[in-house]
Amino acid sequence: MEIRKVLKLINFYPPLFFAGIRLKEINNNATQLIVRMRLNIFNRNMFGTHFGGSLYAMCDPFYVFIIASHLKNDYIIWDKSACIQFVKPGKGKVQAIFEIPKAELDIIKNEVDKGLKKNFFFETVVTDEQKNIVAKVKKEVYIRKKREN
């Protein structure tokens, strides 16, 4: 299935849907995705703020989606590791912007096309409506070309 179709359907994926996580914007060349989450009964912790697991879930798959939309089906793309640092309690609506510039995607493709297995690192922040940082997220993504059978 084409990645743009997957991205349009991702809002209905149960772990994201019930946490209130919504992919709100995809730029024209799918190099930037904006994800938002409103505080609700399914993502609220005992202190009335965003549950940390939901904050991480809103950051989980999106760098892989951007890369997959550009590399297509000839590559293995896996999330390898992640780290989230909670900076302050999240209240109300929170947002994260995931972006990999086209030039960086071209570099990734060129390096992997040389036969390299490589890990790439990406960072984003989750912000509240006042643009305060709620969490900092680091992701490691493993990429290699699929082997010929």
Whether the pLDDT of residue 21 is over 80: the answer is yes
pLDDT at 72: 80
> What is the rounded CA–CA span in Å between residue 40 and residue 37?
9
Whether the pLDDT of residue 29 is over 90: the answer is no
Greatest Cα pair distance in the chain: 53
CATH of the domain at 9: 3.10.129.10
Dig out the tokens for 95 from the structure.
Answer: 């947002």
The number of distinct structural domains making up the chain is 1
Could you read off the pLDDT of 129-139 as tens digits, one per residue?
999 999 999 99
Q: How confident is the model at residue 149 (pLDDT cuts 50, 70, 90)?
A: low
Whether the pLDDT of residue 56 is over 60: the answer is yes
Long-range pairs for 109-118 at CB < 8 Å and ≥24 separation? 109/70, 109/71, 112/71, 112/75, 112/143, 112/144, 112/145, 113/145, 115/145, 116/144, 117/142, 117/143, 117/144, 118/142, 118/143, 118/144
For the chain, what percent of residues have pLDDT higher than 90? 74
pLDDT at 102: 96
The answer to whether 105 touches 42, Cβ cutoff 8 Å, is: no
**Residue for token digits 């730029």?**
27
Mean pLDDT value of segment 29-50: 94
Dig out the tokens for 107 from the structure.
Answer: 């570099």
Whether the pLDDT of residue 108 is over 60: the answer is yes
For residue 130, the enclosing domain spans 3-145
pLDDT at 148: 72
The answer to whether 129 touches 92, Cβ cutoff 8 Å, is: yes
> What is the rounded CA–CA span in Å between residue 133 and residue 127?
4
Whether the pLDDT of residue 115 is over 90: the answer is no
Could you read off the pLDDT of 59-79 as tens digits, one per residue?
999 999 999 989 988 899 999
According to DSSP, the residues that pair with 123 across neighbouring strands are 138
